Structure 1
Amino acid sequence: MFRRTATLVSAIALTMPSAAHAWGQTGHRVIGEIAQENISGKTRAEIELILGEEDLAQASTWADEERSNPSDFWQRDAGPYHYVTVPEGKTYAEVDVPDEGDALSALARFTKTVRDPNATREDRALALRFIIHIVGDIHQPLHAGNGEDRGGNDVKVRWFGEETNLHSVWDSRLIDSRNLSYSEYARWLGREIQPGDTIAWWTADAQVWIAESTQIRDTIYPATEAASPNLSYAYQYEHLDTAEIRLKQGGVRLAAYLDGVFGED
């Protein structure tokens, strides 16, 4: 079986404050807001018992906001929980989970904690916030990285002439081009989600989400070997719809996953 070569250097690099975060605050909050509108009443009540008045949009960015926390958990352990590594031509099932863990292994771990009646409310809150965040992360195509370029962080590009990297484009620059607040964006995208979409997308199987992200990932690299190619209107036209579909799917899947966590399979 193919052994994933996620090195300690890569894990540290992804935990550094300079590294891009999946979707940025706007994207994660859009996913949280869409999910908030799709969870069951029971799930909503269960979440309130753990998080109080904190809604899914607010909770969705917490795992990124804590990256500067000096505790060992945040500086040593939590970095790999934001991504998976799937080399081109492989499926997630064909690779091993690295020793330090990844987003999918963390999702299973935190789900177990949320379901544990003996866990403290504090531990359940941390776990629930991480679940909300991880589901969003997995729907960002470059958080299913190929193991070669740190999820596109090493792919230097210009976005409308400004030096950046491919991960940052998918993290926030594509969706920020809409110039909408997260609540406006969530309402906009939420109106586009048809009943048939919800039915088709309603799956809590994270390996399905990962397979979709890896397929998309391999189509979004600039079609040029030029150093720092300039991405602008043509790239935006080609890929913004895909980014928005992933936001919508992420919101629906987060609702599906949380309903499953709290017994609404």
Structure 2
Amino acid sequence: MKRFSLLFVFLVLFLLTPESTQAWNYAGHRVIASIAWDQLTPETQTAMIALLKQHPRFEQDFQSRMPEVIRKASPAVQDRWLFMRAATWPDIARSFKEADREKYHHGTWHYINQPIYLDTASEQALSSNLPVNTARSIRPEDDPLQFNILQALEYNVAQMTAPAVSPADKALALCWIMHLTGDSHQPLHSSALFSKGSFPEGDRGGNSIRIGKSNLHAQWDGLLGNSFKDSEIVSQAVGLARDPALKQLGEQATKNLNYAVWIDESHALAKSAGYTQLILDAVKQNDAPQNEFIKLTALPAEYYRSAGTIAAKRAAQSGWRLAAVINGFQ
């Protein structure tokens, strides 16, 4: 595990350039999906690929986007590619135009802004009237378009298990379940920093804290790499899954498939390893209403070593949990 951790840290430091903003939005989600794919039963694999082919945009967003090297490969390679593609589809929907974007893109579904307060004064001033949706389940009055990640997971799992739901809608639900399971294990998708001055409405999961030319959220999104090469992504997933300590961690994680627990785990990590004292001190020094963004030049290598180790563990937990959820649909 020690040797793996060192190699992983070097990989993180190499890949985590300021422009690296795609990871948990592309490569990271595909790594998690590839880990999950290998934990599915053969019957479930077949059923999920058949379902994805009922996706209302299968031709536009899946079939026509399959790389030539995958088209020439075996059906097994093609099926893995389709499954990994599904995990990224909710982010692909961000780029749709007009009516399709309105229909398929749901920005609030990707996160929940559970509060982390800059100090006691901020908590006392803000906690009684937070302008964010922190509900832990669906309430009768909730608008589905404004669901947070916990509500969206609950909704989409219900879609997958309801007999009256069409195969096309189940395919959409599967994509969201895959994606949101990954997002729920990224610590900064669980939390937001609130302060009286700069962030009375939260820092948007670290998006408002600048790190060089990037931001804190993007730094965490980049921890699983930003490769667009499928062979590299699959190799990375295999490496994570075969690590004995991570494999054991993933298997243990399947004992708790409560989405709220996943978010609480991420929230605790956001507190302990995301918003470190260095970051909190920088916010305190500049906490004023006119400061829309807090700016730091860089973060120390130790921050990335800790975050990289966490990312590897969360990928394993997410991959095994995702497989357990999907296997349960059969």
TM-score by length of 2: 0.64
Q: Are residues 111 and 21 of structure 1, via their aligned partners in 2, closer, same or farther at CA, if it must alter by over 3 Å?
A: farther
Number of equivalenced pairs: 238
Superposed CA deviations along residues 102-147 of structure 1, whole A, max 9, x for unmatched, are: 1111112112222233322221111111111010010110000226
Deviation at residue 229 of structure 1 after TM alignment: 3.7
Match of 1:48?
A: 49
One of 90, 115, 119 as aligned partner of 1:63 = 90
Q: Are residues 178 and 70 of structure 1, via their aligned partners in 2, closer, same or farther at CA, if it must alter by over 3 Å?
A: closer
| Contact 2:137–2:154 (Cα < 8 Å) also in 1 | no
Deviation at residue 179 of structure 1 after TM alignment: 11
Match of 2:263?
A: 210
Deviation at residue 251 of structure 1 after TM alignment: 0.5
- Within 1, Cα distance between the matches of 2:202 and 2:34? 33
Q: Are residues 193 and 62 of structure 1, via their aligned partners in 2, closer, same or farther at CA, if it must alter by over 3 Å?
A: farther
| Contact 2:250–2:318 (Cα < 8 Å) also in 1 | no
Deviation at residue 197 of structure 1 after TM alignment: 2.6
Match of 2:6?
A: none
One of 253, 258, 261 as aligned partner of 1:201 = 253
Deviation at residue 237 of structure 1 after TM alignment: 1.7
| RMSD of aligned alpha carbons | 2.9
Match of 2:207?
A: 153
Is 1:184 aligned to residue 211 of structure 2?
no
Deviation at residue 71 of structure 1 after TM alignment: 4.5
Letter in 1 for 2:152: A
- Within 2, Cα distance between the matches of 1:72 and 1:251? 33
Letter in 1 for 2:264: A
Structure 1 alignment gaps of length 5 or more: 1-19
Matches within 5 A, 1:100-249: 100-146=146-192, 148-158=202-212, 163-172=213-222, 174-176=223-225, 181-194=232-245, 196-202=248-254, 203-219=256-272, 220-224=274-278, 225-226=281-282, 227-249=295-317
- Within 1, Cα distance between the matches of 2:252 and 2:185? 16
TM-score by length of 1: 0.79
- Within 1, Cα distance between the matches of 2:22 and 2:210? 16
Identical amino acids, percent of aligned pairs: 31
Q: Tell me the SS of whatever aligns to 1:61.
A: helix
Is 1:83 aligned to residue 111 of structure 2?
yes
Deviation at residue 74 of structure 1 after TM alignment: 3.5
- Within 2, Cα distance between the matches of 1:178 and 1:237? 20
Q: Are residues 177 and 24 of structure 1, via their aligned partners in 2, closer, same or farther at CA, if it must alter by over 3 Å?
A: closer
Q: Tell me the SS of whatever aligns to 2:211.
A: strand
One of 319, 323, 329 as aligned partner of 1:251 = 319
Deviation at residue 88 of structure 1 after TM alignment: 3.0
- Within 2, Cα distance between the matches of 1:229 and 1:259? 45
| Contact 1:85–1:144 (Cα < 8 Å) also in 2 | yes
Between stretches 192-201 and 247-256, larger displacement belongs to: 192-201
Superposed CA deviations along residues 72-117 of structure 1, whole A, max 9, x for unmatched, are: 5744761111111212389x67798765111111112112222233
Between stretches 144-153 and 41-50, larger displacement belongs to: 41-50
Structure 2 alignment gaps of length 5 or more: 1-20, 54-78, 118-126, 128-133, 193-200, 283-294
